[in-house]
Amino acid sequence: MSKKDLGLLILILVVGAIVAIINPRFLLPINLANTSNLIGLFGILSIGQAFVIITGGIELSVGSLVALLGTLFIDFIAVRELDWPLAFVLIIVLGAIIGLVHGWLITRLKLQPFVVTLCGLLIYRGVARFYTADGTAGFAFGQNFPDLEFLTAGRSYGVPNSFIALIVIAIVMWVVLHRSVFGRYLYAIGKNEEAAKYSGIRTGRVVMAAYVICGVLTALSAIYFAMYTRSISPASHGQFYELYAIAAAVLGGFSLRGGEGSLIGVILGTVLLQELQNLVNLLGIPSSLNFAVMGGVILIGVLVDQQWGVFRARRQMVDAARKGAVGAAAE
Amino acid sequence: MMNYSDTSIAAITPFLSLENVRKTYPGVVALDGFSMDVMPGEVIGLVGENGAGKSTLMKILGGVTTPDTGTISVDGTAHKGLSVEGSLASGIAFVHQELNLFENLDVAANIFFGREPLRAGPLRLVDRAKLREMVAPLLKRVGANFSADTQVSDLSLAQQQMVEIAKALSIKARLVILDEPTSSLPIAETDKLLDVIKGLKADGISVIFISHRLHEVERVADRVVVLRDGMLAGTLAKRDVNHDQMVKLMIGRMLKEREKASEAARAPGAVALSARAIRTPTYPARPVDLEVRRGEILGLAGLVGSGRTELARVFFGIDGSLGGTLELDGKPLALGSAADAVAQGIFLVPEDRKLTGILLDLSIAQNISLPNLPAHATRSLVSASAETATAEKQKKNLGIKAPSVETRTGTLSGGNQQKVVLGKWLAMNPKVMILDEPTRGIDIGAKAEIYGLMRALADAGVAVLMISSDMEEVIGVSDRIAVMHEGRISGILDKDRFSQENVLLLAVGKQPK
């Protein structure tokens, strides 16, 4: 765990302690379970986003994808009565294909990630609304999927299964990001894509793979969100979720220029965001201020982090000067 | 040493006068005992090899650095050194080799950027009419055939140079220093630029014209100042300015020593990399044929912009060729990316170490393992111990000076960074090793080590292609020298015809002796 991650963890604990003191209901099992369920759902989404951000890209369409893929999933199992494992696989594959198309447009046709995924944001939202004719996708009365419901919305020993799923995914993706050859390539490309290319890395393929991973994890979280809300109105479902995911990554120490950030960081970022949401509810702050609180905290967090970096760099320079290690560059 | 003795200007105070200027950097004497005068309306050609001290002189005149000793007089007033503001206020203007224009703005906006005439009122709107009025005479003076509202991106390179010169004139320049202004210009455009210089002279403005293109210097200069190893090698008056005299002064006595030092020619090996009618995106109409043999160091010389780096990019799969064929060991070679080249054992040590050679934020070990990461992994998981082992071996082998292989490469010196770039390729098995300016910005000790490494590679049967603008390096290290001129190979020299003069002649497109 890096110093940055540790700082974030301490912030989470301090905020948690303050909220708990003001409103002890924060620590009630039911509140903790609800919050950790949300952490699970948003965490899966944010990990996907993190893989794209590490390459220096951005994926703005995930909120709309949560709506579209969630709508399709419910439609598949509730209306078309597909077996849910089949529907599950179909949705994951669809997420992968959409990620692949985004990656292809960005790496082969050299479009900017922001533009490609902004168009995605608009297109998928529109398609989702058209698909349900602006209606609501949901289950008929008495329709039950016990296994699916247990896996997505159920609890084991009081812990939401969605949270457990996040832990499992986080461990796997931690290995991928921090230990695998692919992960090293991601960092290298994020730091300096040209130099990575000159080292013989097929940078296009690696970046494309990052968008596929994002698509798959988004599809998975779309299923979880769908089973959590159980009914979806595509006009509003998942709105702004891309921003939650980006915010979690940024809070977690990711640089939007790429090449920086850790998996633990993005998880902690998600935890802090959900804690803040909970804080707004529990402390009786008008819920209309929700976004303002989140924005304010992110801004302060990033500012402190950046100033701390400047401070450290300055101190290093002063130290170096004191040691007399001033090497005037010979040109 | 020859002296100028033009009686017509002898009575006038020189606009600029340098006396006994000395400038040292740690370990290097950049300029030593240098003196020169610049008369009003005089065009001075300043020539010298790379590293002769031209850029230090420019920095002193621009006020970026101050000399250790000596005086600089402007209009007869002596200074210890100039400041940037002082240089500007004295009317010294620079036109650099790299243009500093905003391509998305028009000509007028570029010339008066930040100094636009404003209309009255709180909105501080630009007074377009006034601006055009101010720009018109400047454009006329540089002989511009384009209007003030042309967008800069629509201009040719020579026209952009004219805008730069107009910009220099707009600060009421009295001395315009042109640093390699023609190096990227085609011949016809160059003529226009030389005419502009004559126009400036006619207006009484002094010009210092720095160029590697000696025939242009010959055409335009009233006097030529030759720098060598930080010292004034000689001054040539107008009537003595000719190509051979300049080359003689630039090279000095070093020439003969070098030639003696050259070893007997080696027996050439089989052709490793062969290029037939390769056309680079920069020079699509200039097909290039080149063969690099196993066991040799082929030097690739030429002026900046002659298409050497572009050729290397094609050989390394970064750019596609617009035609022609590549062969490796006699087999056709199709390169879709650098990854393909690396898989075939063709490696490149690029010109720009910090942008493309290494990743500054990664450690030495991570940089060295990067091109061959799967070999340092078990079941796709990177093995830190395997990485460290490879890196330690290269660190020892190359003598990389760093606390450990975990050190961030960004904190290393230039020479050690270059060794990391070499290390990442040496850890694999090179067949063809391309090095683009491998010793640029590297201290002398590390330079010698890198030469030794290249020779060791060649002796081990690797085909080595070394691009270099350092004349001594090209002659001292290569087994054969290919010279490029404006996108094509203008000649290939075998060891018995190696001389700085021959390389220079081929580089400017003339026949060697």
| Domain regions of chain B by residue span | 271-344+463-513, 346-428
CA–CA gap between residue B334 and residue B272 (Å, rounded): 15
Mutation target for A interface from B58, B314, B369, B373: give the one with most A CBs within 10 A. B373
- Is residue A82 in a domain? yes
Whether B56 sits inside 8 A of A331 (CB atoms) is: yes
Whether A192 sits inside 8 A of B359 (CB atoms) is: yes
Cβ atoms of residues B356 and A194 within 8 Å = yes
pLDDT at B65: 86
* Partners of residue B293 on adjacent β-strands: B271
- Is residue A254 in a domain? yes
Superfamily for the B271-344+463-513 domain: P-loop containing nucleotide triphosphate hydrolases (3.40.50.300)
Instruction: Encode B130-141 in three state secondary structure.
Output: HHHHHHHHHHHH
CA distances from B237 to A270, B43, B44, B180, B201 (A): 75, 11, 10, 21, 17
- Is residue A156 in a domain? yes
CA distances from B263 to A181, B313, B445, B474, B498 (A): 46, 31, 22, 14, 11
Facing residue for A330 by CB, picked from B25, B342, B381: B25
Answer yes or no: is pLDDT of A264 > 70.
yes
Which pair of tokens denotes residue B7? 């009686």
User: How near does any CA of chain B get to the CA of A185, in Å?
Assistant: 8
Residues of chain B short of pLDDT 50, as ranges, are 1-10, 254-265
Which pair of tokens denotes residue A167? 């832990």
Task: Name the closest residue on chain A to residue B369, using Cα atoms.
Answer: A199
Least confident of A106-115, A257-266, B115-124, B341-350: B115-124
pLDDT at B257: 39
Whether B371 sits inside 8 A of A191 (CB atoms) is: no
pLDDT at B6: 47
Contacts of A198 in chain B (CB under 8 A): 316, 318, 338, 348, 350, 356-357
Facing residue for A181 by CB, picked from B30, B361, B374: B374
Cβ atoms of residues B166 and B91 within 8 Å = no
Whether A191 sits inside 8 A of B382 (CB atoms) is: no
In which band, very low, low, confident or very high, does the pLDDT at A156 lie, cut at 50, 70 and 90?
Answer: very high
User: How near does any CA of chain B get to the CA of A191, in Å?
Assistant: 7
Whether A181 sits inside 8 A of B56 (CB atoms) is: no
Whether A184 sits inside 8 A of B373 (CB atoms) is: yes
Q: With respect to CATH, is domain B346-428 assigned 3.40.50.300?
A: yes
* Partners of residue B326 on adjacent β-strands: B275, B333
Strands in B28-38's sheet, in edge-to-edge order, are B28-38, B16-25, B69-74, B77-79
Tell me the pLDDT tens digit for each residue of A17-54.
999 999 999 999 999 999 999 999 999 999 999 999 99
Residue at token pair 């989702």: A128
User: How near does any CA of chain A get to the CA of B446, in Å?
Assistant: 15
Facing residue for B380 by CB, picked from A180, A194, A259: A180
- Is residue A139 in a domain? yes
Contacts of A329 in chain B (CB under 8 A): 25
Which pair of tokens denotes residue B40? 């009003």
Facing residue for A201 by CB, picked from B318, B339, B341: B339
Q: Where are the beta strands (DSSP E) in B253-380?
A: 271-278, 288-293, 297-302, 325-328, 331-333, 346-349, 377-378
Instruction: Encode B191-256 in three state secondary structure.
Output: HHHHHHHHHHHHCCCEEEEECCCHHHHHHHCCEEEEEECCEEEEEEEHHHCCHHHHHHHHHCCHHH
Task: Name the closest residue on chain A to residue B355, using Cα atoms.
Answer: A195
Facing residue for B362 by CB, picked from A182, A183, A188: A188
Q: Which of A115-129, A301-315, B68-82 has the highest mean pLDDT?
A: A115-129
Contacting B with CB below 8 Å, chain A residues are 175, 179-185, 187-188, 191-192, 194-202, 259, 327-331
pLDDT at A322: 63
Contacts of B348 in chain A (CB under 8 A): 198
Give the type of residue at B61. L
Contacts of A208 in chain B (CB under 8 A): none
CA–CA gap between residue B318 and residue A205 (Å, rounded): 16
Tell me the pLDDT tens digit for each residue of B392-413.
999 999 989 889 999 999 888 8
Tell me the pLDDT tens digit for each residue of B444-469.
677 888 999 999 999 999 999 999 98
Q: Any idea how long chain B is?
A: 513
Q: For residues A67 and B261, which has the higher predicted lDDT (pLDDT)?
A: A67
CA distances from B74 to A103, B15, B71, B91 (A): 60, 6, 10, 10
pLDDT at B83: 87
Task: Report chain A's C-alpha Rg in angstroms.
Answer: 21
Q: Any idea how long chain A is?
A: 331
CA–CA gap between residue B26 and residue B192 (Å, rounded): 42
Facing residue for B361 by CB, picked from A180, A191, A330: A191
pLDDT at A293: 87
Task: Name the closest residue on chain A to residue B26, using Cα atoms.
Answer: A330
pLDDT at A330: 33
Write down the mean pLDDT value for chain A.
91
- Dihedral sign for Cα A23, A25, A26, A31, please: negative
Q: Which of B414, B466, B480 lies closest to B437 in space, CA to CA? A: B466
Cβ atoms of residues B80 and B20 within 8 Å = no
Which pair of tokens denotes residue A122? 């608009």
- Is residue A270 in a domain? no
CA–CA gap between residue A101 and residue A116 (Å, rounded): 10
User: How near does any CA of chain B get to the CA of A180, in Å?
Assistant: 4
User: How near does any CA of chain B get to the CA of A210, in Å?
Assistant: 16
Tell how many helices (H) and how many strands (E) occur in chain B: 18, 22
Contacts of A331 in chain B (CB under 8 A): 25, 30, 55-56
Task: Name the closest residue on chain B to residue A193, using Cα atoms.
Answer: B356
- How many CB contacts within 8 angstroms connect chain A with chain B? 84
Contacting A with CB below 8 Å, chain B residues are 25-28, 30, 55-56, 316, 318, 337-339, 341-343, 348, 350, 355-362, 366-367, 370-371, 373-374, 377, 380-382, 424, 443
User: How near does any CA of chain A get to the CA of B216, in Å?
Assistant: 28
CA distances from A22 to A9, A26, A279 (A): 20, 9, 10
Cβ atoms of residues B317 and B338 within 8 Å = yes
Range of the domain at A127: 37-263
CA–CA gap between residue B128 and residue B135 (Å, rounded): 10
Instruction: Give the ipTM.
Output: 0.86
Whether A195 sits inside 8 A of B358 (CB atoms) is: yes
Contacts of B318 in chain A (CB under 8 A): 197-198
- The full DSSP string for A190-233 is HH-HHHHHHTT--HHHHHHHHHHHHHHHHHHHHHHHHHHHSEE-
Facing residue for A199 by CB, picked from B343, B360, B424: B424
CA–CA gap between residue B382 and residue B384 (Å, rounded): 6
Facing residue for A199 by CB, picked from B27, B355, B370: B370
- The full DSSP string for A34-96 is HHHHHHHHHHHHHHHHHHHHTTT-----HHHHHHHHHHHHHIIIIIS---HHHHHHHHHHHHH
Whether A331 sits inside 8 A of B27 (CB atoms) is: no
Answer yes or no: is pLDDT of A251 > 50.
yes
Facing residue for A194 by CB, picked from B28, B356, B373: B356
Contacts of A182 in chain B (CB under 8 A): 380
User: How near does any CA of chain B get to the CA of A179, in Å?
Assistant: 6
- Dihedral sign for Cα A164, A41, A98, A269, please: negative
* Number of structural domains found in chain A: 1
DSSP A330: P
CA–CA gap between residue B208 and residue B177 (Å, rounded): 5
In which band, very low, low, confident or very high, does the pLDDT at A9 lie, cut at 50, 70 and 90?
Answer: very high
Q: What percent of chain A has pLDDT over 90?
A: 74
Q: What percent of chain A has pLDDT over 70?
A: 96
Exposure pattern of B223-261 as b/e (b: 16+ CB <10 Å)? Answer: bbbbbbbbbbbbbbeeeebebebbbbbbbbebbeebeee
CA distances from A61 to A97, A218, B220 (A): 14, 10, 62
User: How near does any CA of chain A get to the CA of B286, in Å?
Assistant: 25
Whether A181 sits inside 8 A of B380 (CB atoms) is: yes
Mutation target for B interface from A171, A198, A201: give the one with most B CBs within 10 A. A198
User: How near does any CA of chain B get to the CA of A121, in Å?
Assistant: 31
Whether A200 sits inside 8 A of B339 (CB atoms) is: yes
Facing residue for A195 by CB, picked from B25, B55, B355: B355
CA distances from A131 to A99, A229, A234, A237, B15 (A): 21, 19, 9, 14, 80
Cβ atoms of residues B176 and B200 within 8 Å = yes
